[in-house]
Amino acid sequence: MQDNIVKAVQEAISNAKDRKFKESLDLAINLKDVDLSIPKNRINEEVILPKGRGKEIKVALFASGEAALKGKECADLVIPPEEIDKLAENKRNARKIANQYDFFIAEAPLMARIGKVLGVILGPRGKMPKPIPPGGDPCPVVNNLKKTVRMRSKDKRTFHVPVGTKDMAPEDIAANIEEIVKRLEHKLERGLQNIDSMYVKTTMGPAVRIKLR
């Protein structure tokens, strides 16, 4: 399958017109014979891409003390505990931060408070923070998240996953796609038999089908 993926990625890139911005490459996945009206059958996974995202991914950290100091070296935003209630009072600012940052992490003792005051904003976006031990070093988690993508099918049989950017090597993008396929194969009851079709495309370019078999 690896050769099929590389060929599809190469074709998707060569078919795409030059743009004035760095286009992403997305993987479109169509499932079959999966009852997605049942929540446990839905895809809701986070995958660390072996070759990274090819673009800046922003991570925000809720922390104080030692964790906050360490977080300033790697996180894009450090939010101290006293700011949580202020964000709750300023919904506009809270929504702005929720949209601006891709992932959130938080010291474990702050999780209940964050859930209570910010859950209504972060929850629907799939951005509730990942807990880390109080005082721990958040940087390993942050660095992994900067290479992480979410796969979320919700109740739809078709969903999209970012797998890189147009300026990445096709082989690197293919390696990322393989990681996605591997996770899906493990997650789906019948593995690849539950995947009807799969396409790769640039943000504004035509889709190219990947031969799965």
For residue 69, the model assigns a pLDDT of: 95
Name, in order, each residue with C-beta under 8 angstroms of 125's C-beta and a sequence gap of 6 or more: 98, 99
Contact partners, residue 43, CB within 8 Å, separation at least 6:
31, 151, 152, 153, 159, 184, 187
Cα→Cα distances 195→33, 101, 144, 180, 205, Å: 9, 31, 27, 12, 23
Q: Which helix or strand (DSSP H or E) is residue 178 part of?
A: helix 170-187
Domains and CATH numbers, the chain: 2-54+149-209 (3.30.190.20), 59-145 (3.40.50.790)
Rounded to a whole number, what is the distance in angstroms from the first to the last CA of the chain? Answer: 7
How far apart are alpha carbons 53 and 69 in whole angstroms? 26
Q: What is the pLDDT of residue 212?
A: 80
> What confidence tens digit (pLDDT) does each residue in 158-211 have?
999 999 999 999 999 999 999 999 999 999 999 999 999 999 999 888 999 998
pLDDT tens sequence across 92-111? 999 999 999 999 999 999 99
Q: Cβ(3)–Cβ(175) under 8 Å?
A: no
Q: Say how far apart CA 186 and CA 80 lie, in whole Å.
A: 38
Measured over the CA atoms of residue 16, residue 23, residue 201 and residue 55, the dihedral's sign is: positive
What pLDDT, in 10s, does the model give residues 61-83? 999 999 999 999 999 999 999 99
